């Protein structure tokens, strides 16, 4: 059976200001958790949910992303001749995947970045993954979202309940639970504390339909002077039903220093090679 959704957009043109100076000349999407860049976690998660093609929206100082997913002849030769088979397999494991790159010339916001992918997506539904939202690989919410999309054929955003003090960092939805999904009544990008309709935050996984592009083409700048995807979804709500799907399992905001550290610690504790040793180290450290 042909899959309903095979394409993913990975916006990666943001300036990464929260991680300066690390992100001055290198992409935040390339920051590693242990030994793998954030964007590779996002790609592997999508592949595990049946996605086959990727378009990365890039900008200035983002070339390392293209190099990362390209072949590396010299390095491969070196690993081959020195018998490092496992490492060779590791760096080649995504070599069968198709990547396209579209450059967003000016960082005008997430909504504008998505609009840049219109020629790639054409008239198919697609997923959007924000790499700095790292999701526990054991609970890939996208898989559930695709299953729900196949049934309801409507746009779906991933949701997480966040503390009330953090609502102004997110797109927040108002909605009512209908079975396993929320039927969305309203969306607000980065509401001021006290004016948020709920504490249900949009996190970086979306299933969108191509009619979002018509809206994005006319979308005026919103929060932070940027063209916001949340505002476009709010507009789309006048034309069709949009659902929200609550994530299970952990989600880490790896675009934030504390979130990044939590992701690193949790992934390190689960690491087959040194998770036990790392745990011993932490236990000792916390005792002292």
Binding footprint of ligand G1P on the chain (CB under 6 A) = 110, 130, 133, 170-171, 189, 201-204, 228-230, 255
At closest approach, how far in Å is the CB of 236 from ligand G1P? Answer: 14
Nearer of residues 19 and 170 to ligand G1P, judged by Cβ: 170
| DSSP β-bridge partners for residue 57 | 11, 102
Alpha helices in the chain (DSSP H): 38-48, 63-68, 73-81, 85-92, 110-116, 118-121, 141-152, 212-218, 229-236, 257-270, 275-287
| DSSP β-bridge partners for residue 10 | 56
At closest approach, how far in Å is the CB of 177 from ligand G1P? Answer: 19
At closest approach, how far in Å is the CB of 77 from ligand G1P? Answer: 39
At closest approach, how far in Å is the CB of 231 from ligand G1P? Answer: 9
- What is the rounded CA–CA span in Å between residue 210 and residue 226? 21
Over 73-100, what HEC string results? HHHHHHHHHCCCHHHHHHHHCCCCCEEE
Nearer of residues 79 and 131 to ligand G1P, judged by Cβ: 131
Could you give the 3-state DSSP secondary structure of residue 286? helix
- What is the rounded CA–CA span in Å between residue 231 and residue 223? 9
Nearer of residues 40 and 228 to ligand G1P, judged by Cβ: 228
- What is the rounded CA–CA span in Å between residue 175 and residue 242? 10
Rg (CA), the chain: 19
Residue 23 sits at φ, ψ, to 5 deg, of -100, 20
At closest approach, how far in Å is the CB of 159 from ligand G1P? Answer: 9
At closest approach, how far in Å is the CB of 171 from ligand G1P? Answer: 2
């Amino acid at each position: 059976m042909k899959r309903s959704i095979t394409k993913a957009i990975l916006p990666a043109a943001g300036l990464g200001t929260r991680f300066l100076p690390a992100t001055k000349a290198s992409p935040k999407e390339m920051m590693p958790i242990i030994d793998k860049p954030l964007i590779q976690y996002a790609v592997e998660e999508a592949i595990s949910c049946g996605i086959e093609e990727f378009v990365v929206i890039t900008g200035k100082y983002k070339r390392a992303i293209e190099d990362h997913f390209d072949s590396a002849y010299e390095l491969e030769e070196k690993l081959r001749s020195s018998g490092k088979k496992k490492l060779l397999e590791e760096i080649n494991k995504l070599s069968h995947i198709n990547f396209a790159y579209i450059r967003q010339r000016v960082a005008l916001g997430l909504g504008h970045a998505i609009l840049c992918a219109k020629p790639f997506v054409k008239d198919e539904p697609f997923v959007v993954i924000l790499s700095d939202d790292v999701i526990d690989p054991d609970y890939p919410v996208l898989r559930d979202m695709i299953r729900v999309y196949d049934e309801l054929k409507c746009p779906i955003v991933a949701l997480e309940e966040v503390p009330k003090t953090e609502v102004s960092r997110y797109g927040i939805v108002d909605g009512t639970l209908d079975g396993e999904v929320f039927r969305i009544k309203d969306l607000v990008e980065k509401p001021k504390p006290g004016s948020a309709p709920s504490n249900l935050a949009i996190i970086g996984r979306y299933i969108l339909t191509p009619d979002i592009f018509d809206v994005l083409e006319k979308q005026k700048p919103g929060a932070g002077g940027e063209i916001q995807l949340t505002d476009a979804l709010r507009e789309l709500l006048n034309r069709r039903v949009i659902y929200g799907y609550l994530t299970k399992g952990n989600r880490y905001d790896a675009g934030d220093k504390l979130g990044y550290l939590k992701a690193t610690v949790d992934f390190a504790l689960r690491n087959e090679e040194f998770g036990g040793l790392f745990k011993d180290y932490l236990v000792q450290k916390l005792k002292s």
